[in-house]
Structure 1
Amino acid sequence: MDVNECVLSAGRAVLEMVEREWQPLSAGELEHRLDQAVEEILESDLIAKLEAQPPPPPQTIYVQLLQSQASVGPQVLHTTTTTSCSPPEEEAAESQDPLETVDSAAVKYISDLLQSSKSRARMAGRARLSLSHTVLLSLTLLSERVSYRSVSRRFQLEKGNIHRIFFSFCERINTLEEKQIRWPVGREAEEALFPFSSLIGKDEREEGKGVPQVLGVLGHTRIPIRLPIGKHDVESTVPEVKRMKKEAHPDSWLNLELVCNRRGQFLYCRISKGSDMDRGGALIDRLKQLPELMPSGSCLIARAGYPLTAQVLTPYAESHGPREELFNKTLEEHLHILDQAVANLRARFKRLRYLDIGHYDRARAVVLTACVLHNVFVEMGQVFEGEAEKEEAITCEGHAEADDESIRRRDMIADLLFKNFDPGNT
């Protein structure tokens, strides 16, 4: 390693250390802060001018009051009546954001989870903050697109302390992963199953025709993160603007692979770097090694791009007619469950829209924290619905093509669906 490489490495290390204690404001946040500062300066100048002026005589004030009542009396009465009635409704409408759904019961519930967890180590940076305020502060950072500076001013704490509190909170929540994101087994798994399609009756399912019930829906999403230091320069002949759109560096996002049940709770969660394109590989291998994890006659539903296996049912990549279209439409209804769960996750935890974190382990800890808390809120019945968007299909790597048995099984289910849907056979 030459001198230049040593200097570059040292510079990166220093920037990483600074990054831990300081998170820069985005352009929008900076503009908001500047506007707020200008408003405060103008307000203070106006107050100073008013205080410098001598107060008017009481008689003058009385005359002005009588004149104003005579000229706008009815309007003032109407305005007062309207104002007294409308603000509660307006405030209620404006307060419908993720943070408002985090009531005292949720803070207490999460605080109790942390106190009852195996990891009882004291959180960092809590010298001046109770556990309940630690939970509220961390939920604020997860639920809002706010800077550490804004939160430090709100909670009257140093920004560096806010940083330590938040990541210590994430580490503690991560220890609850096995308890909160659980794969159902035994009777719990049997109770979690739901029908593949309403077109296939109970009698036909019991005849042993191989029509599965659904245990969960498998899919993925991407969480944008800040590109790590030293990976911004990508050699390419493509112009910069097009390169940013078409050749995004794989380390500029995290892959979040999930399995959710029909309630939208996550049964499985795998977080990997953007360069990892092996979709479903770890889970499928695990299901093959432990077949008891899948109840008899059950399956997972996944989008095109995931491998078609004995445990995972995927749509036809190419539709050749109404039979395939009906089958794909049936699967899409199930896939919407995962799309909605991901939308709810992003809507409640707005920080996942873009994690301004260039450190993989910290970014992963934040995403996992959001997934664990998502299940906590679903269990409490506090669902914050977002607008679902269909995730694009991906190309899976590292798995062979579907075997003949899996293909025959899918064709059999498609035939049965189409037969029951055909008005001539009803």
Structure 2
Amino acid sequence: MDVREYVLSAGRAVLDMVEREWQPLSPGELEQRLDQAVEEILEADLMAKVKTQPAPAVYVQLLQSQANVQVQPQVLQTTTSSPTEKESPELREPLETVESAAVNHIADLLQTSKSRARMAGRARLSLSHTVQLSLTLLTERVSYRSVSRRFHLEKGNIHRIFFSFCERVNMLEERLIRWPVGTEAAEALFPLTSPEKVHEEVQQGVPQVLGVLGHTHIPIRLPIGKHDVESRVSEVKRMKKEAHPDSWLNLQLVCDRKGRFLHCRISKGSDVDRGSAVRDKLKQHPELMPAGSCLVARAGYPLTAQILTPYSGSLGPREEHFNKTLEDHFHILDQAVASLRARFQRLRYLDIGNYDRARAVVLTACMLHNVFLDMGQVVQGEVEKEEAITGEEVGEVCDEGVHRRDTISDLLFKNTDSGNT
């Protein structure tokens, strides 16, 4: 039995306990920490100037700086910096950049939300700086310790601030991730195939697409109690070979042609739902789909009258042409997921063993993804081949779905034949 396994498990247990129980600093404790931070900055500044300047100039400039020194949290930067890099002067300028507009917009959303309760652990931190701190943790793969030094706050307090922020953002889910209806839905529709590829006589019967349905995995830390401490295989090798289902979250999404999320469902890795919730919702509320529209999804998702999936098994020219038509749309979701990961780099691995908190962080990132898109701030993440979203080989089918898919594929293939004559 490897003693390191026990140490690792015990360490994670302590970490989870601290995450649950660590209380924010009292005003007095915070004041003391801030005073200490100011003193450390002044001392470091003095030592630096002593080494680089003549003595008389040092004392004059020190007196001037002591009268004006202020400790301010660092302004959020979209590019990830190394923890060893020195902060540039621009990082402490007022909120005047494009990123500042996003910070102010998100702060306004939280300020005007139904819940006006004070965020836990804010401890005199302004709402805009709370947003900056939380976005830093989401967009950069940095530790709490690094953020603690950057914002001059206690590490445990930062933890509370971040999760309080995620909880507040989650309360806006219905506002920020919503299914389009009415005029908004009509404007969101786009052709199943480009008009130049479909003759006018076969346009009728070919549906328009409302969105692309798919999923991805968000790796998280395996919860306490799920580790097999009796195993002699190292933890890294176990994660690669055994892939415990609770070591990731299933993130199921529907996105429109712009990559905006219309639907988001987050579940444990062991809770596999390949579109059944979406299928049931559309069946109960058919008015959610405009007349003649559909969703497209990869194999493994249910084939219904509202959800079109590719053919599987032995394929003829007609089926292959239909599958190719659908495949052109799947890149939309792949790109949306790649952009989500590129902007919110913490999603590449969430070092969180608590499912509810991990879910809150992922949902926050999905909602803010829409906020940034609405503001015109687009991040083009690179779609890696191994990360392309794929489905299972076989999904559920219904007779109505089979009939509609066959009808549509006949129309599309008829156009192909007529175009070749």
> For residue 100 of structure 2, what is the amino acid of its counterpart?
S
Alignment match of 1:169 (pick from 160, 165, 168): 165
Q: Are 1:378 and 2:373 counterparts?
A: yes
8 Å CA contact retained: 1:125, 1:161: yes
Give the alignment partner of residue 226 of structure 2, picking from 226, 231, 239.
Answer: 231
Q: Does 1:286 align with 2:284?
A: no
Q: Partner of 1:84 in structure 2?
A: none
What secondary structure, in the 3-state scheme, does the structure 1 residue paired with 2:190 have? coil
Following superposition of structure 1 onto structure 2, how do residues 230-309 of structure 1 map, counting pairs within 5 Å? Answer: 230-233=225-228, 243-309=238-304
* 1:98–1:349 CA contact under 8 A, matched in 2: no
User: d(CA) in 1 for partners of 2:377 and 2:276?
Assistant: 32
Q: What is the CA-CA distance between 1:419 and the residue it aligns to?
A: 2.2
SS at match of 2:223: coil
Q: CA shift at 1:345, angstroms?
A: 0.3
Q: Quick one: which of 361, 364, 382 aligns to 1:387?
A: 382
Q: 1:329 aligns with which of 307, 317, 324?
A: 324
Task: Tell me the CA shift for residue 388 of structure 1.
Answer: 1.7
CA, structure 1 residues 98+324, in 2 after alignment: closer, same or farther (shift >3 Å)? farther
Structure 2 residue aligned with 1:354: 349
* Residue 312 (structure 1) aligned with residue 294 (structure 2): no
* Partners of 2:413 and 2:282 in 1: CA distance: 30
Q: What's the counterpart of residue 79 of structure 2?
A: 97
The Cα shift of 1:11 comes to: 9.9
**Residues 424, 296 of structure 1: alpha-carbon distance in 2 compared, 3 angstrom cutoff:** closer
Matches within 5 A, 1:16-415: 16-20=16-20, 97=79, 103-198=99-194, 199-201=197-199, 203-206=201-204, 210-233=205-228, 243-389=238-384, 390-394=388-392, 401-415=396-410
The whole-number CA distance in structure 1 between the counterparts of 2:186 and 2:229 is 50
Q: Which has the larger radius of gyration?
A: 1
Taking the aligned partners of 2:256 and 2:403, their CA distance within structure 1 comes to: 26
> Using the alignment, how far apart are the partners of 2:419 and 2:209 within structure 1?
28
SS in 1 for 2:266: strand
Structural RMSD (CA): 3.0
What code does the residue aligned with 1:195 have?
Answer: P
Deviation at residue 381 of structure 1 after TM alignment: 0.4
In the TM superposition, residue 244 of structure 1 has moved relative to its aligned partner by 3.1
> How big is each residue's C-alpha offset from its partner over 1:67-89, in whole Å with a ceiling of 9 and x where there is no partner?
xxxxxxxxxxxxxxxxxxxxxxx
Once the two structures are superposed, what CA deviation does each residue of 1:161-206 show, in whole Å capped at 9, x if it has no partner?
A: 1001100100010011100100011221112111111222455333
Residue correspondences, number: 348
| 8 Å contact kept, 1:303–1:393 | yes
The answer to whether the 8 Å contact 1:306/1:395 transfers is no
Q: TM-score, length-normalised on structure 2?
A: 0.76
Tell me by how many angstroms 1:307 deviates.
Answer: 1.1
Please state whether the residue corresponding to 1:422 is helix, strand or coil: helix
Q: Percent of aligned pairs with the same residue?
A: 75
How far apart, CA to CA, are the structure 2 residues paired with 1:229 and 1:305?
31
Bigger drift between 319-328 and 244-253 goes to 319-328
1:329 deviates by 1.4
Alignment CA distance shift 1:261-1:424 (3 Å): closer
**What one-letter code is carried by the residue in structure 2 that aligns with 1:300?**
L
CA distance in 1, matches of 2:80, 2:14: 36
One-letter identity of the residue aligned with 2:345: K
**Offset at residue 15 of structure 1 (A):** 4.7
Q: Deviations over 1:122-150 (max 9, x none)?
A: 11122231100000110000000000000
Partner residue in 1 for 2:41? none
Aligned to 1:90: none
Matched to 1:394, the amino acid is E
Instruction: Give the aligned partner of residue 40 of structure 1.
Output: none
Pairwise CA distance, 1:403: 2.5
Residue 59 of structure 2: aligned partner: none
More moved, 181-190 vs 165-174: 181-190
Residues 1:96 and 1:375: Cα distance change in structure 2 (over 3 Å): closer
SS at match of 2:191: coil
Cα-to-partner distance string for 1:366-388 (whole Å, 9 max, x where unaligned): 00000000000000000111012
Closer, same or farther in 2 for the Cα pair 1:51/1:119, shift >3 Å? closer
Q: Secondary structure at the match of 1:270?
A: strand
The 3 A distance-change label for structure 1 pair 147 and 186 is same
TM-score (norm 1): 0.75
**Contact kept in structure 1, 2:199 and 2:415, CA below 8 Å:** no
Residue 258 of structure 1: how far off its partner (Å): 0.3
Q: Distance in 1 between matches of 2:236 and 2:141?
A: 26
CA distance in 2 between counterparts of 1:117 and 1:175 reads 8
Distance 1:284 1:102, change over 3 A: farther
SS class of match (1:254):
strand
Contact 1:20 1:163 in 2 (8 A): no
Structure 1 spans left out of the alignment, 5+ residues = 1-8, 23-43, 56-94
